[in-house]
Amino acid sequence: MAVLAPFLVIFAFILELPNVETTQRTLDSLDASFCHAGLEVIYPDLDIDKCLIVSKELKLREKISTVWKAPQIYFSGARKEKKYVLVMVDPDAPSRTKSSGYWRHWLVVDIKDNALKKGNIQGKTLTDYHPPMPPPKTGFHRYQFMLFEQPPGTSVSLTDQEKSRGKWDLQAFITRFGLGTPVSTVQFLTQNFKD
């Protein structure tokens, strides 16, 4: 039995390796370069701390679309006594080849630094969490999480024109409140779980 143990470990490693390599190879360089600075998005069976494609295995695509609620968000680099803005968008609505602008999935402002360090988002929700649900036959969609430092004394809100989730002008929102460049970003790609 002792002779078989090393063989079984190597065999198990070989079986897992193709799944990891396949996922990494399918991300193009632009998608892979989006993620930076340690933002972590945690669903019950899926920890997203780098750019990745959600696997169809274990029904992860179905769970992320229909079962799981809002994820926990961790950012260990949150600066003391700062507030943050979290944005989750799909830039590929209705499809990556025919995008009509950003679809806003989640928007939370006034998030305190200690909440981010604990993974417990406490802030003012401007847009309730809406799970990723790419339409059938539209291919992979990117779901991007961006964390911005909120300028001191700034009250962030949506205009009446921004009440709809679709065709959101993210850049105009960023400019209006002086949010600048995100301090951290992460994204995952998924497609309709029935495809």
- The tokens describing 83, both together, are 């507030």
Domain region containing 87: 29-190
Q: Is residue 62 part of a domain?
A: yes
Cα 68 from Cα 130, distance rounded (Å): 10
| One-letter identity of residue 151 | P
Q: How many structural domains comprise the chain?
A: 1
| The residue to which tokens 């802030």 are assigned | 123
Q: Is residue 24 part of a domain?
A: no
For the chain of 195 residues, list the mean pLDDT of each consecutive stretch of 10.
Answer: 45 36 60 93 96 94 96 96 97 91 97 93 96 95 98 97 95 98 97 94
Q: Is residue 59 part of a domain?
A: yes
Q: Is residue 123 part of a domain?
A: yes
Judge if pTM exceeds 0.95: no
Tell me, what's the pLDDT at 181? 97
Q: Is residue 135 part of a domain?
A: yes
The domain spanning residue 88 has which CATH number? 3.90.280.10
41: number of Cβ within 10 Å: 21
Q: Is residue 133 part of a domain?
A: yes
Q: Is residue 181 part of a domain?
A: yes
Residue 45 contacts residue 71 (beta carbons within 8 Å): no
Cα 74 from Cα 116, distance rounded (Å): 5
Q: Is residue 2 part of a domain?
A: no
